[in-house]
Chain A
Amino acid sequence: MTMKRTIVAALSAAGLALASGLALAAGQYGPGASDSEIKIGNTMPYSGPASAYGVIGKTEAGYFAMINEQGGINGRKINFISRDDGYSPPKTVEQVRQLVEQDQVLFMFSPLGTPTNTAIHGYLNDNKVPQLFVASGADQWNDPKRYPWTMGWLPSYGTEARIYARYILKNLPDAKIAVLYQNDDFGKDYLNGLRDGLGDKAAKMIIATQSYETTDPTVDSQIVALQGSGADVLLTAAIPKYAAQAIRKVYDVGWKPTHFLTSVSNSVGTVMKSAGFEKGVGIISASFIKDPTDPQWQDTPEYKEWLAFMKKYNASANTADVQAAVGYSYAQTLVDVLKASGDNLTRENVMKEAASLHNLALPMLLPGVTVSTSASDFAPIKQMQLQKFDGTTWKLFGEVISASGS
């Protein structure tokens, strides 16, 4: 009798252990996650005036396809659902609601744009859905106290402008500054960041500003007006097309200011080449990522690996497009976070892992620039390096600068 009871007890205990072991292996799941897949939501402007940034989404999709072919993450495939919002905030709200409520994604990854993300961050935080690695250079995504579910990724435009301000204060203290900016959040962030970085000297040093709309065909008139102000420093906060026009016009009118150029538009193969290499000599910019068209990177194994990825998984994109390198790095950051989450794929845990990145180095980031987060620091990339154009390539100078959002 005792023998039978013992055997039954032993078997039950074994059965219990087995069952709970299975449960542990099966993992904890939030909506959209299971043993076989992780559903991720994304919105991108694939149509409309901002469609040039759609390549980020396409690159991310290609990267996840590659990861899936290599076996997925901890055995699970990534189901990347990316929707077009045409850079229109009402559309973004609609697409995000569909992704969260109908498609039941685990979280939103790298949605693009500032007004578009502003439209959804209340909803996502209210519903406790991670808004991870926002693809926007605004300062406001690093606010874990008020928006614990929202995290940025890029060094913000304001941060970059403050780096330029610091350089100017140190090296050009008597500068008279002119600013060309796109009349939207992107351009204004640079203008305000510059003002912020110059502090109480701002009013005296910034003597002229000119804006342009994306419906303006050229910015020639603005450049002429800025030259007329007598400034000897120029900050150009413009998207690639207008930046190229500005660089060319500055040269053509015979103006030789110390010219600071936004990191968004410093690609050698598109902007500098279009403007004319000789016209861009001496321009100062900052960067956190390797420009794929810059000759100094093209012999490195990291570039070759990226190029091979592009050819196989992202063939529709242009290999001269720095945004493709950006998308690649976004995707790699996420893969790291998902790998670290292991079998605990709840929204809370993904957010926690995202806030626990320690000096993550990515192949296409500049040497010395890494990704780091903490519970109070939701700005993964805070470092940039200054560089000067010498007619062929961007010569990095100084050390990697760590700047935070104000």
Chain B
Amino acid sequence: MHQLLQQIFSGLAAGAIYASLALALVMIYRATDLVNFAQGEMAMFSTYMAWTLVNAGLPFWGAFIVTLLLSFLGGMAIERVVIRPVENAPVLAAVVVTIGLLLIFNSLAGWIYTYTVQDFPSPFPDRPLLGALITTRDLGVIGMTLVMLILLFAFFRFTATGLAMRAAAQNPASARLCGIRVGRMLAIGWGLAAAIGATAGIMVAPVLFLDPNMMGGVLLYAFAGALLGGITSPVGAVVGGLIVGVTENLVGTYLIASQLKLTVALALIILVLVLRPNGLFGTAIVRRM
């Protein structure tokens, strides 16, 4: 029983990591209808920026705020410069551009910071709770993810900009007629997603340890989690991420040898999607014919 609880809690802690990146993926998808394959690498790069600032002497929270701002601006810049040219091109062109971005960020990080594993300071102390079931650091990650979720949810639901952004994504032509600057909405969307990704990376680096390949695996699981929950739903992203984390742990311990863990976990996720093709909380993608 104790093992079961431990696996579940470990799964929740890992799931919170996936959920935090999944939120960034959902953000981009809602803003620009694209899956950003470079999200993980952008988050990793932001984390390295924070690491540089901390090493230069800034206190943790100071470095955090500065990195968020820089990431927000960086995300906007990327949307304007890198993504804008392919916005009206076939979807595949945009996908390839995000793949190119992934390679660029990964390679640059390896070149500038080398591939040696670094440790990263955490604002949360690392004490075990509940009889070693979970640590305060893991709780911190889960907590931050939930905070981001609430902020994101509130943003889309209750703010004018959030509403404008939803309009711009759903129907750019009509939105423009209403006076919404669609281009600016897209840029803000990317900026926010980059900031969310940076938060995810900074929270996660103390747990996973910082190296240029830190986010590679996380992106895959975040992608699965986001889709499981419904790519259009922030709540779905978090729920999906947590489910992926727990399922993976339980599958590896009880269902099948750890050598097939990834395969079986993915198969289960796909099974759920077969039953609910738009994810647990997602809305159907309707195409006008």
Contacts and interface: CB of A to CB of B under 8 A. Distances in A.
B242 to A, nearest CB: 14
A217 B252 CA distance: 14
B252 A221 contact: yes
Contacts of A214: 213, 217
Contacts of B116: 52, 55, 270, 318, 320-321
Contact of B115 (A54, A213, A254): A54
Interface string B205-219: 001110111001110
Contact of B253 (A225, A245, A317): A225
B258 interface: yes
Contact of B208 (A245, A276, A320): A245
B114 A317 contact: yes
B114 A274 contact: no
Given A221-B253, A273-B119, A252 B217 contact: no
B18 to A, nearest CB: 8
Given A222-B258, A253-B132, A270-B117, A47 B252 contact: no
B114 A318 contact: yes
B14 A274 contact: no
B36 interface: no
B278 interface: no
Interface string B77-89: 0000000000000
A224 B3 contact: yes
Given A225-B253, A274-B118, A49 B3 contact: no
B7 interface: yes
B6 A253 contact: yes
B10 A224 contact: yes
Contacts of A54: 115
A74 interface: no
Contact of B10 (A52, A221, A244): A221
Contacts of B114: 55, 316-318, 321
B262 interface: yes
Given A51-B110, A241-B117, A317-B114, A217 B128 contact: no
B217 A274 contact: no
Interface string B3-19: 10011001101100110
B13 A252 contact: no
B217 A241 contact: no
A217 to B, nearest CB: 5
B117 A218 contact: no
A231 interface: no
A20 interface: no
A216 B211 CA distance: 14
B244 to A, nearest CB: 11
A55 B111 CA distance: 11
A252 B135 contact: yes
B132 A245 contact: no
A220 B117 contact: no
Nearest to B221: A217
Given A49-B216, A221-B10, A241-B209, A271 B132 contact: no
Contact of B132 (A51, A252, A270, A321): A252
B32 interface: no
Given A216-B262, A244-B209, A221 B119 contact: no
Interface string A361-383: 00000000000000000000000
Residue from the set B6, B110, B128 with the largest chain A CB neighbour count within 10 Å: B6
B86 to A, nearest CB: 24
Interface string A198-239: 000000000001111111111011101101100000000000
A224 B209 contact: no
A402 interface: no
B259 interface: yes
Nearest to A180: B258
A215 B7 contact: no
Nearest to A183: B259
A191 to B, nearest CB: 11
A245 B138 CA distance: 13
A240 interface: yes
A273 B119 CA distance: 8
Contact of A225 (B3, B17, B212, B220): B3
Contacts of B107: 47
A168 B259 CA distance: 26
B14 A271 contact: no
A321 B113 CA distance: 13
Interface in B117-165: 117-119, 126, 128, 132, 135
Nearest to B10: A220
B3 to A, nearest CB: 4
A211 B262 CA distance: 11
Contacts of B118: 270, 274
B248 interface: yes
A220 B252 contact: no
Interface in A240-257: 240-241, 244-245, 252-254
Contacts of A55: 114-116
B199 interface: no
A323 B19 CA distance: 35
A382 to B, nearest CB: 28
A55 B262 CA distance: 30
A243 B177 CA distance: 57
Contacts of A241: 117, 208-209, 211
Interface string A279-322: 00000000000000000000000000000000000001110110
Given A217-B18, A218-B207, A221-B7, 13 more contacts: A51-B110, A211-B259, A214-B217, A216-B262, A224-B3, A225-B3, A227-B3, A240-B117, A241-B208, A241-B211, A244-B119, A270-B117, A274-B209
29 contacts: A49-B213, A51-B110, A51-B115, A51-B212, A51-B213, A52-B116, A55-B116, A210-B258, A211-B257, A212-B258, A213-B217, A215-B220, A217-B14, A217-B17, A217-B218, A217-B221, A218-B14, A218-B208, A220-B10, A221-B10, A221-B11, A221-B248, A221-B249, A228-B3, A228-B6, A241-B209, A273-B119, A274-B118, A276-B126
Instruction: Give 9 closest A-B pairs by Cβ, nearest first.
Output: A52-B115, A215-B217, A228-B3, A274-B119, A221-B249, A318-B116, A220-B10, A210-B258, A225-B253
